[in-house]
């Protein structure tokens, strides 16, 4: 039985396994490299378990349909890459304001525009936070292994249902297309959070009831009638021009995340107890960073790694604490400087330097070791 649970699996395939494990029953999207395998596999798997798959005419239609599936009570997923993620931003903002649970997978590729569809990148870090307009909550998880893609996809669904908000699974083309042996978890082995049930009488139900930090969401068609609009709204969902209601509603959707950061943050720490030089990195670049840290240790250099598995909300507390203990923090990322700016913002005393690459090739351990040695 143990051997049957072990499988050689592609990252995008593991995303499918994680979604199904979490209870995903609806997928809508549009094919785009390097995320297409997610749609291809779910087009076969979902009908086998009574779920629904639909390929829409474009990326905007894909996320809009997925939001409809979620409003109907189904755990819903859409996946994309690069310019497709840009096209989805208006609906991501809509999901934030209307508080519709949804998981969006973005397998990052080179850009801008059509860019380099088969090459890796980490250039959507800031877009995952600020891509849609206005002040809005943002949760994005960042797996670095095929096994983590499975488990972090499950966690993304849990966070989405728990906080009634869209959640982004953000990983790069290398992780999406690599194959590694993974263990398929047994049912019940990973926590699965389902949507809170509405128990009040239909006439007493308000989808944006200000008495609740996170009001329960009734499925369309279940006897609870309510309005959904992208305009600022009252507790019944209908638009309002009342400045007090608008302000309080905007603040509440932020508070429901800010009040629960310790439930959302997740980091891996490697050799940080006595580290003098730290590396902060995510995704496939963190794999190079781990190798570099191990090599530095073998050479007598006290290096360590902080690897955020939640990039948004940014792990301010962990980075600030780290910056007080080390003399330098190195931030390798496949872009021209995004995460490094957040690390600089949080760093109190440590010097912060970035390593950047945008030629479609990964940052290798040698580049990181060379940077570490400058501070030994």
Give pLDDT < 50 ranges for the chain: 1
The 3-class SS string of the chain reads: CHHHHEEEEEHHHHHHHHHHHHCCCEEEECCCCCCHHHHHHHHHHHHHCCCEEEECCCHHHHHHHHHHHHHCCCCEEEEECHHHHHHCHHHHHHHHHHCCCEEEEEEEEECCCCCEEEEECCCCHHHHHHCCCCCCCCCEECCCCHHHHHHHHHHHHHHHHHHCCEEEEEEEHHHHHCEEEEECCCCCCCCCCCCCCCCCCHHHCCCCCCCCCCCCCCCCCCCCCCCCCCCCECCCCCECCCHHHHHHHHHHHHHHHHCCHHHHCCEEEECCCCCCEEEECCHHHHHHHHHHHHHHHHCCCCEEEEEECEEECCCHHHHHHHHCCCCEEEEEECCCCCHHHHHHHHCCCCEEEEEECCCCCCCCHHHHHHHHHCCC
Structural domains of the chain, with CATH: 2-183 (3.40.50.970), 268-373 (3.40.50.920)
* The predicted structure's pLDDT at residue 376: 81
pLDDT value of position 5: 85
Question: pLDDT (tens digit, 9 = 90+) per residue, 84-129?
Answer: 999 999 999 999 999 999 999 999 999 999 999 999 999 999 999 9
Q: Taking the model in full, what pTM does it have?
A: 0.97
- Residue 339, pLDDT score: 98
pLDDT for the residue numbered 4: 61
pLDDT for 325-337, tens place per residue?
999 999 999 999 9
């Amino acid at each position: 039985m143990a051997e049957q649970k072990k499988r050689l699996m592609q990252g995008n395939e593991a995303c499918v396994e994680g979604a199904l494990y979490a209870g995903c029953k609806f997928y809508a999207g549009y094919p785009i490299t390097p995320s297409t395998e997610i749609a291809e596999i779910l087009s076969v798997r979902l009908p086998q378990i009574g779920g629904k798959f639909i390929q829409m005419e474009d990326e905007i239609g894909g996320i809009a349909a997925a939001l409809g599936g979620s409003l109907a009570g189904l755990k819903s997923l859409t996946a994309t890459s690069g310019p497709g993620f840009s096209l989805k931003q208006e609906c991501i903002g809509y999901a934030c304001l209307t508080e519709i649970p949804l998981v969006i997978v973005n397998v990052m590729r080179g850009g801008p525009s059509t860019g380099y569809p088969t090459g890796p990148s980490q250039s959507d870090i800031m877009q995952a936070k600020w891509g849609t307009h206005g002040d809005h909550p943002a949760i994005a998880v960042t797996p670095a292994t095929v096994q983590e893609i499975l488990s972090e996809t499950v966690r993304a669904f849990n966070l989405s249902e728990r906080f009634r908000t869209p959640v982004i699974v953000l990983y790069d083309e290398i992780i999406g297309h690599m194959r590694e042996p993974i263990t398929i978890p047994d049912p019940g082995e990973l926590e699965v959070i389902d949507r809170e049930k509405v128990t009040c009488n239909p006439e007493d139900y308000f989808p944006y009831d200000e008495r609740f930090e996170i009001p329960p969401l009734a499925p369309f068609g279940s006897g609870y009638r309510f309005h959904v609009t992208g305009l600022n709204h009252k507790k019944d969902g209908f638009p309002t021009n009342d400045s007090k209601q608008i302000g309080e509603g905007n603040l509440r959707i932020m508070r429901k995340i800010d009040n629960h950061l310790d439930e959302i943050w997740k980091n891996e720490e490697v050799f940080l107890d006595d580290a003098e030089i730290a590396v902060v990195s995510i995704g496939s670049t963190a794999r190079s960073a781990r190798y570099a840290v191990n090599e530095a240790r073998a050479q007598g250099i006290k290096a360590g790694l902080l690897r955020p598995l939640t990039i948004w909300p940014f792990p301010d507390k962990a980075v600030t604490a780290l910056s007080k203990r080390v003399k330098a923090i190195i931030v390798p990322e496949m872009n021209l400087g995004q995460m490094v700016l957040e690390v600089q913002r949080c760093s109190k005393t440590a010097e912060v330097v970035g390593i950047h690459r945008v030629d479609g090739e990964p940052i290798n351990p040698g580049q990181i070791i060379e940077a570490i040695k400058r501070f030994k």
